[in-house]
Copies of this chain bind each other. A is one copy, B any other.
Amino acid sequence: MSKLYVVGIGPGAYEKMTIEAARALKDSDVIIGYTVYVDLVKDHFPDKEFLTTPMKKEVDRCILAFEEAAKGKQVSMICSGDAGVYGMAGLMYEVGVNYPETELVILPGVTAATGGAAVLGAPLIHDFCLISLSDLLTPWEKIEARLLGASQADFVICLYNPSSKKRHDYLQKACDLMLRYKAPETVCGIVSNIGRDQESMQVMTLKELRETKADMFTTVFVGNSQTKEIGGKMVTPRGYKNV
């Protein structure tokens, strides 16, 4: 039985990769991924064979990985962040039903939620939800129900894919839904290009977030009722007394 690695490479910077992820890539003959992610690691593993497929060709990308492994090559399928958070690990298991001779080994990584949180301060110290605003694969009604449920239960909320060219007003729509249960003064933050050049962050209120433009390289954080700003950072208390 051959092993195929599905590797979360972290937010972008090489040093934010885990030691085992770097080791798996070093041990691989072939590294497969979406073009943008391959560009992030290429310079660190110059002697590898790189194969890419574009966005919306995810099923083809998985088949390619299994076919290369079937040739006897050591293959790593890479994803940015964690391979198991909106990543390819799930689809690899689904496609893998047709390749029972290949065992998948999932290597976790730092996802944008925790990578971005570290830049903003400590927004995810208490119960939180991850919600993707992309309705490419999920009906908007489901996203809406999750935004409302999470806001009503006072979760910290981290939004992936907050916006794109076609969905330029989705972050605003999401803020309007969250504002039904969260105060306009709720402390929020955005991080762009986590762990890459031009990384930037900003702490603001939910009311201000509603008027903010985000792109597909931005991760958005909406605090719970206890979240506060400390020296320009976004911090959610865990609840320790006597601080």
Contact = CB atoms under 8 A, between A and B. Distances in A.
> How big is the A interface, by class?
35 or more
A193 to B, nearest CB: 15
Interface stretch (A27-35, A106-114, A162-170, A209-217): A106-114
Q: Secondary structure of the A side of the interface?
A: mixed
A1 interface: no
B146 A127 contact: yes
Given A117-B84, A230-B97, A137 B20 contact: no
A155 B153 CA distance: 13
The interface centre, meaning the residue of A83, A84, A129 with most chain B CB atoms within 10 A of its CB, is: A84
Given A89-B122, A155-B129, A239-B138, A108 B97 contact: no
A36 interface: no
Given A93-B231, A108-B118, 20 more contacts: A10-B18, A15-B23, A16-B18, A16-B108, A17-B19, A19-B22, A84-B123, A85-B117, A86-B238, A89-B118, A89-B122, A90-B125, A90-B237, A91-B237, A93-B230, A108-B114, A126-B132, A127-B130, A129-B130, A145-B154
Q: What 9 pairs across the A-B complex have the smallest Cβ distances?
A: A149-B153, A137-B239, A90-B125, A89-B122, A106-B118, A90-B122, A15-B20, A108-B118, A84-B117
10 contacts: A15-B19, A15-B20, A59-B242, A86-B125, A91-B240, A97-B231, A106-B119, A109-B114, A127-B130, A146-B155
